[in-house]
Chains A and B, each alone.
Chain A
C-alpha cells in the first residue's frame, strides 16, 4: 500500500487530506512544518509528499531544498498544495502544484498517475 506524507500547518487541512487519501486506499502520515517533516520523511520513507508552502518555523521551499540534497530522498515526488498564488514557481521540480481550495478528484488523479495506479 502506497504511503503519502502530508505537510501542512493547518490541522483541519491535514484531517481533510488524510480523509481523502485513506478513503482511497493510501496510508498517510503528517507533519506540521518543514523541520518536523524532514525527520518524519526519514522515518517513514513515504512514496509521495503533499507540501504546503507557507508554514510557521520552516517553509516548504526550504524543506524541499534539504530533501533534494539527500540522494535517497530526492526521488520522492512532491505535490504542492498551497494557498499562495504562483506557488508553482516556489518549487519548480514539484510534479504538480494545486491552489487551495483544491478539487479532491484532481488531487487523487495526480497522485494516482504519479504512483502508477
Chain B
C-alpha cells in the first residue's frame, strides 16, 4: 500500500483530478474539502504528507499548516497556491511548509516536489535510526564502564601503593623522581605480622625475609613499635625514621611508609611497607641539585634571550643575556613593556597563544634593548606545566637573528643588483654595438664625421661600463680604507679639476668656494673619497643639463674647515629633487636617471663617507636646485682605521 497523502481543497474538481494523478503516483489519497475536515482526518489517519490549497473558506491553508505542524512537526505539508498569492506561499515556508506548487498544477512539478518531500522523510527516518543506534551504543558502553569500575575496585592495592610512593616522593623535596629511581624496599605484611612478599631490591639488600616477623628487618625496633604493627593497630598509614640491618651487617638509616590494605569487610587485611634508603635519597638529592645547577647554567649561558612569563606576561625569570640587554626585570614587569616599550600585549604574542593551545609557537619580530638598539629576534615558546598538567607559565626564547637578516638583505640586494644591472648592461652593450657599427660604416663610406661620432659613443659606453663594473666590485667586496694624512687644499683642487671639464663641456659654470690660506690636512682614503665627491659633482652637472627652465646654470663646489671637522658642499641650480627621491636616494639601486643611472652611485658615495666617520645630507626644492653637504672629521675614528664599519 502506498504512502498516505491528505489532499485538502475546497474545489471538487481539483480534489477529483488531482486525487487521480496522486493515486497514479502510488499514494493512498485521503481528501478533505476544508480545514476542519482535514484536521479530523489527520487526527484519525496521521498521513505523513499533506497537500493543501492556501485559499479556502473558513480555516485557510496556512492556519491548517500551523495546526498540523503543532501536532506533528514531522509531517510534511506542501502548499498549493494561485499565482496571485505568491506572498502567502512564501509566508507558508516560514511556518515550515515543505514546498509549494502553483496553480494550474503541472504534474511534473508536483511529482518533483513530492519526491523531495519523500526523500526528506526517508532521511529523517534514517537519522532517527542512527540516533537510536547511538543510544544503544551508549548504553552498552555504560555497562562496560560499570564493569570496569568494579575491576578498578580490585585495583585498590595498586592505589595504596602509588599513594605511599607519592608520600615518599614528597619527602624527597618535591623531586619528581619516578618509581624506578627510588631505592625502595617494598614489602607486604599480613595480620600475623609476617612478611608475605618483598621486592627484588629488598631481597638483595635485606635478605630473604618472607615468613619472618615484620619487625625483624629493623636494627632495634620492638615488635609492637614496628611500623607494620602500628598500622594494624591504628588502621592508618604510618611514617617514621628507623634503621634497617642489611645482609652485610650494615645499619642503614631509612624512611618508612606504610599503607593499610583493607578487605571487603573494611578490616585491615594486609599492610604495604615501603622503606627508602636515606643515604641513597641524599645522593639523589645531590644529583638533583647538580642537575638543577646545570640547567641554571644552561639557562644563563644560552646564546638567546630567555624569559619565563606568567599568564599576565609578567617576567618571573630571565637569563643573563636577557638581563644584560634588557635590564633585570623588576617584580611584576611585563614582557611587552621590556621588549616593545608598550602598554598592551603584542597582537601576535606567542606566549598568549601557548597559554591558549599548549603548543610551542614561533614569531619573528623586532625588539628594542634598553639602549634603544633594535634586534630582529625569532621567538620560540614552550609551556611549563605543573604536576597536574596545567600550564602555569610559558618560557620564551628569543634568538637574535639581526645579523642573519642583515646578511639576507645583503644577499637580496645582490640578487636585485644582478637583475637590475643586467638590464642596464644590456642597454650599454647594445649602444656600444651601435657605436662600433657607426665607426665601421663611417670607414666603409669614407665618412670621417660618422667615424668620429661613432667613436665618441664607443668611448662614452666604455667609460660608463667601466664605472659600473668598478662600482659593482666596490659593492660586492667590502674595501678597507687605505688612509693617509691628506692636504685638504690640494685634495679639493684635484677633485675640482676632474669635474670642471665635464661641466664646461655641458655649458654649466663650475664655481670654487673656499676660504683663503692653508686649510691644513685631514685623514682620508683620497682615492675613495675623491670618487665619492666626483660622483656627487657629476650628478649636479647632470641635474643642471636636465633643467630647461633656467637660462644659466652653475655648480658650486665648496669647502670649509675648523680644527676638528671639515665640510664639503656641492650645490647646483638644476632640476632639484622631490621629497620621495630625497628619502630613497641613498638606497641601493635607486636611480632617477632612467637608462643613464646604475642606482649605485649615491649608495656608494654615502657608504664611503660613512666609512670615513662622516655624514651626508641634502637640501633641495624641485625646480630650485640641490645642495649636498658632506661633513667629515679631520681625524678618522679608530674604528675606521682598524676595521671597517658594519663588519
* Interface residues of A, Cβ cutoff 8 Å to B: 9-10, 12-13, 15-17, 19-20, 23, 54-56, 83-85, 99-102, 104
Contacts and interface: CB of A to CB of B under 8 A. Distances in A.
Interface in B412-438: 422-424, 426-427, 429-435, 437-438
B430 A100 contact: yes
B434 A19 contact: yes
Nearest to A53: B423
B594 interface: yes
A54 B594 CA distance: 9
Contacts, number: 58
A54 B423 contact: yes
Interface residues of B, number: 20
Given A9-B595, A12-B461, A83 B441 contact: no
B457 interface: yes
Interface of B: 422-424, 426-427, 429-435, 437-438, 441, 457, 460-461, 594-595
Contacts of A83: 422-424, 426-427, 430
Contacts of B424: 83
Contact of A100 (B427, B435, B438, B461): B427
B433 A16 contact: yes
B423 to A, nearest CB: 5
Nearest to A81: B430
A19 B461 contact: no
Contacts of A20: 437
Nearest to B595: A10
Contact of B433 (A54, A84, A101): A101
What DSSP secondary structure best describes chain B's contact surface? Answer: helix
A9 B594 contact: yes
A80 B634 CA distance: 54
Nearest to B438: A19
A16 B427 contact: no
Given A23-B441, A83-B423, A13 B594 contact: no
A102 B430 contact: yes
A12 B457 contact: yes
Given A54-B423, A83-B427, A100-B426, A15 B594 contact: no
Given A83-B423, A84-B423, A85-B422, 7 more contacts: A10-B595, A12-B461, A17-B434, A19-B438, A83-B424, A83-B430, A101-B430
Contacts of A56: 594
Contacts of B430: 10, 12-13, 16, 83, 100-102
Contacts of B431: 10, 12-13, 16
B427 A10 contact: yes
Contacts of B429: 100-101
Contact of B435 (A12, A17, A23): A12
A25 to B, nearest CB: 14
A20 B52 CA distance: 89
A12 B298 CA distance: 66
A12 B423 contact: no
Contacts of B595: 9-10
B438 A15 contact: yes
A20 B461 CA distance: 19
Contacts of A13: 427, 430-431, 434
B457 A15 contact: yes
28 contacts: A9-B594, A10-B427, A10-B430, A12-B435, A12-B460, A13-B427, A13-B430, A13-B431, A13-B434, A15-B434, A16-B431, A16-B433, A16-B437, A17-B434, A19-B437, A19-B438, A19-B441, A20-B437, A55-B594, A56-B594, A83-B423, A83-B426, A83-B430, A84-B423, A100-B430, A101-B432, A102-B430, A104-B433
Contacts of B423: 54, 83-84
Contacts of B461: 12
A84 B430 CA distance: 13
Nearest to B442: A19
Contacts of A15: 434, 438, 457
A9 B595 CA distance: 7
A61 B427 CA distance: 18
A20 B429 CA distance: 16
A112 B435 CA distance: 23
